[in-house]
Amino acid sequence: MPDFIKNIEIKLLKVPLEKPVSDAKVITGKQTPLKEVMITCAIIRTNDGREGFGYVYCKRNGGPAQYSLAKEYAPLLIDEDPDDISRLWDKLLWSSISIGAGGVAVQAITPFDIALWDLKAKKAELSITKLLGQFKEEVPCYNTSGGFLQDSIDEVIDNAQKVLSEGAGGIKIKVGQKDYKEDVRRVEALRKALGDDVPIMVDANQQWDVSTALKAGRYLDEYDLVWLEEPVGAYDVEGHYRLSRALETPIATGEMLVSFNEGLPYLDRRAFDVCQFDAPRIGGITQYKKVIDRCEEQQLVLAPHYSMELHLPLVACYNGEVWVEHFEWFEKMGIFNERVEMNNGLMKVPNRPGIGLTLNNDVVRKLMVDSAEFK
């Protein structure tokens, strides 16, 4: 008798941050400080007693929408073969196609897609990295959580030195203020404090036009940065292309895109140097496998946004240069029983079965907003 999906449980969690953080979108008045992250979790159980876990996250508004649509998706998976992952991905998307083929429609698929891949790898008694094809045992990492704009540059430097001592390999700070020269001063101070050998990235969070980005970028070229991230709007393919050709500093973008298809214009145009597509945002592992294949074709740097716990084992399957973004927010709350191992600038790729993550149920009970079960 073939395996089938017998039971699905989904949970909505609210994860508060220790202190609100602000990037350029806040400084320029487009958003308010980020205070919390919402997570929709899915636990899929099969008739033979196996269990798979997956999740999607949302910053600011939208988390309840992801969860609400996930509640509509879940019954469609009951009695299905859990190995038919691609077919089930399409089945869920077609069930909600009237609201589009990206954004929440795709992101609500993510927790189920990841849970199904988790199940498949566990059934094979492999980590997800081994299942997909491992290239790397360790992956370079950089920290972002200490580089937001609400902190003075002296605080940012202190944060950077602390996290470097804890094992991070690079530091990213936020730029994109109304006066780009203030951004340049912050970068100059950070480079002076950390020395020439520490990798530094900067992120403008879409707050410049092309002209301003060119002016700022020519100053920033002097500081040997790993990349300049989202210098212009997330959907300005031509603007990113122009900047990638005009500046010495590599251009990174892609985190705001909400489907693989939205990323195709960037890949087809080769409009960036560093691909930051986010697996949870574009629909999970099924879609991210496509990203890996296309980036290998073009020999791009692969540096997915956020979600280090998930992206770490995925980018280890990439035969090229990679970075993983270190955000310790989930670790500080203890959401997962497992922790990322970080030392000497590298994260160790886990070899636990599946995606290698399990929920800390004591913490989950404290953070849970709602839950639902389907049989």
Do residues 15 and 163 share a domain? no
Q: Is residue 353 part of a domain?
A: no
Q: Is 54 in contact with 82 (CB distance < 8 Å)? A: no
Q: What is the DSSP string of 314-362?
A: HHTT-SS-B-EEE--HHHHHT-BS----EETTEEEPP-SSBT---B-HH
pTM here?
Answer: 0.96
- For residues 140 and 270, state if they share a domain: yes
How far is residue 210's CA from residue 169's CA, in Å, rounded to a whole number? 30
Does residue 355 lie in a domain region?
A: no
Indicate whether 299 and 337 sit together in one domain: yes
Secondary structure (DSSP) of 167-221: T---EEEE---SSHHHHHHHHHHHHHHH-SSS-EEEE-TT---HHHHHHHHHHHG
pLDDT in tens, the chain (375 residues): 679 999 999 999 999 999 999 999 998 999 999 999 999 999 999 999 999 999 999 999 999 999 999 999 999 999 999 999 999 999 999 999 999 999 999 999 999 999 999 999 999 999 999 999 999 999 999 999 999 999 999 999 999 999 999 999 999 999 999 999 999 999 999 999 999 999 999 999 999 999 999 999 999 999 999 999 999 999 999 999 999 999 999 999 999 999 999 999 999 999 999 999 999 999 999 999 999 999 999 999 999 999 999 999 999 999 999 999 999 999 999 999 999 999 999 999 999 999 999 999 999 999 999 999 999
- 174 among known catalytic residues: yes
- Residues 260 and 294 grouped into a single domain: yes
- My answer on whether 116 and 137 are in the same domain is no
Is 122 among the residues known to form the active site?
no
Q: Please tell me whether residues 121 and 142 are part of one structural domain.
A: no
Query: Is 86 inside a domain boundary?
Result: yes
Instruction: Determine which one of 122, 136, 174, 326 is catalytic.
Output: 174
User: What pLDDT shows up at residue 1?
Assistant: 63
Domains in the chain, number: 2
Q: Residue 252's domain spans which residues? A: 130-348
Same domain, 367 and 337: no
Residue 273: inside a domain? yes
Domain shared by 225 and 364, yes or no: no
Residues 102 and 149 in one domain: no
- Judge whether 354 lies within some domain: no
| Residue 245 vs residues 62, 231, 356: alpha-carbon distances, Å | 35, 13, 40
Q: Is 39 a member of any domain?
A: yes
Report the 10 Å Cβ neighbour count for 309: 21
Q: Which tokens in the block code for residue 5?
A: 């999906």
Q: Which of 137, 117, 133, 144 is nearest to 23 (CA)?
A: 144
In a domain, 34, yes or no: yes
Could you tell me the CATH number of the domain that includes residue 143?
Answer: 3.20.20.120
Give the full edge-to-edge strand order of the sheet including 368-374: 51-59, 34-46, 5-21, 368-374
The residue annotated as part of the active site, out of 123, 136, 305, 311, is 305
Tell whether 85 and 177 lie within a shared domain.
no
Note whether 103 and 140 are same-domain residues: no
Q: What CATH number should be reported for the domain holding residue 82?
A: 3.30.390.10
Q: Are 159 and 306 found together in one domain?
A: yes
Q: Does 319 reside within a domain? A: yes
